[in-house]
Amino acid sequence: MRLTPEQIERFDRDGYLFFPGLFTPQETRTLTEAVPALYARREAYNVREKGSDAVRTNFAAHLYSEPFAKLARHPRMVQPVQDLFGERLYMHQFKINGKMAHEGDVWQWHQDYGTWKNDDLMPTERAMNVAIFLDDVNPFNGPLMFIRGSHKKGVLDAKHDLETTSYPLWTVDNALIGQLVERGGGQGTFDADGRYVPGGIISPNGPAGSMILFHSCLVHASTSNMSPWNRVSVYLSLCAVGNHIRRFKRPEYIAHRDFAPIDCLPDDCLLTDYPVDLPWKDGMPASALVTSTEPIDKLEVAA
């Protein structure tokens, strides 16, 4: 899938692109049906909600689950980012976020690159997220919220929040959020028919199979899920190979250490039996838990 000049211009302006229903119900079902077994595993790569058994995030499924290994190589997700960067990509992070009904907790306002820079020593913001909805996303089940155009401000000051949820984030403070929202369009308005017209905060809603591509400096968050509907989404964090991380401070299941460029499968890969490598199929290696606060030697990890 290739981006049009108009889409590239819109991405540059707003910091994201939304593709409703990009994956068919049948394609999406192959992924959705694999999630319960992944969430049931008692492994370090399943991070659960604070005070709950509900899974908040499942990491690295593409290394041990065939459907998600195929998704990690899907041209509809990889090619648009490759076009924007003009460089081949590697998988920096792969996660299945489970904003579960009644139990899904908040994700505070943050930039993804803030964490990648501070924790992983990623040199620049030449990386971004591509998200796929595995459930229908509506205004009530904790959808993503973006501050339109906030990526234009570059890397923002952030603090390391270790308290709010079970997963630490480098978060942006409330005063700066208010300034960014005002800059992006303010509170929004209502039209003559009483319908809300978004301002600085936008929240893409859509059916399962929809896809969002968003800049690594775009400030985003999501509220808790108090509805009776799950909101499970897959996130591929794709990074330009030449921009690979320079530190292994976090476990390998969170921040990957294989910088080999992604080779895409054919477009029908979710519904066709193409062979894929599953290096962690028989268990996560002990080396994946080894970390260091020291920068890595670039010569030892060059792709």
Residue 293 has pLDDT above 70, yes or no: yes
Residue 166 banded pLDDT, cuts 50, 70, 90: low
What pTM does this model have?
0.90
Distance CA 293, CA 249 (A): 5
% the chain with pLDDT above 90: 68
Q: From CA 274, how far away is CA 171, in angstroms rounded?
A: 40
Query: What CA–CA distances, in Å, run from 24 to 21, 61, 99, 208, 265?
Result: 7, 21, 22, 8, 17
Domain boundaries, the chain: 5-301
Q: How confident is the model at residue 160 (pLDDT cuts 50, 70, 90)?
A: confident
CATH of domain 5-301: 2.60.120.620
- pLDDT(299) > 50: no
Residue of 131, 158, 142 lying closest to 217 (CA atoms): 158
Average pLDDT over residues 157-175: 76
Q: So what's the pLDDT on residue 257?
A: 96
What 3-state class would DSSP assign to 236?
strand
pLDDT band at 303 (very low <50, low <70, confident <90, very high): very low
Residue 18 sits at φ, ψ, to 5 deg, of -120, 130
What's the rounded Cα separation, in Å, for the pair 10 and 275?
A: 36
What integer pLDDT is reported at residue 298 of this predicted model? 52
Q: Does position 302 have pLDDT exceeding 70, yes or no?
A: no
> Span 273-294, mean pLDDT?
94
Lowest mean pLDDT, pick from 49-53, 136-140, 202-206, 286-290: 49-53
pLDDT of the residue at 176: 87
Residues 241-270 have pLDDT tens digits of 999 999 999 999 999 999 999 999 999 999
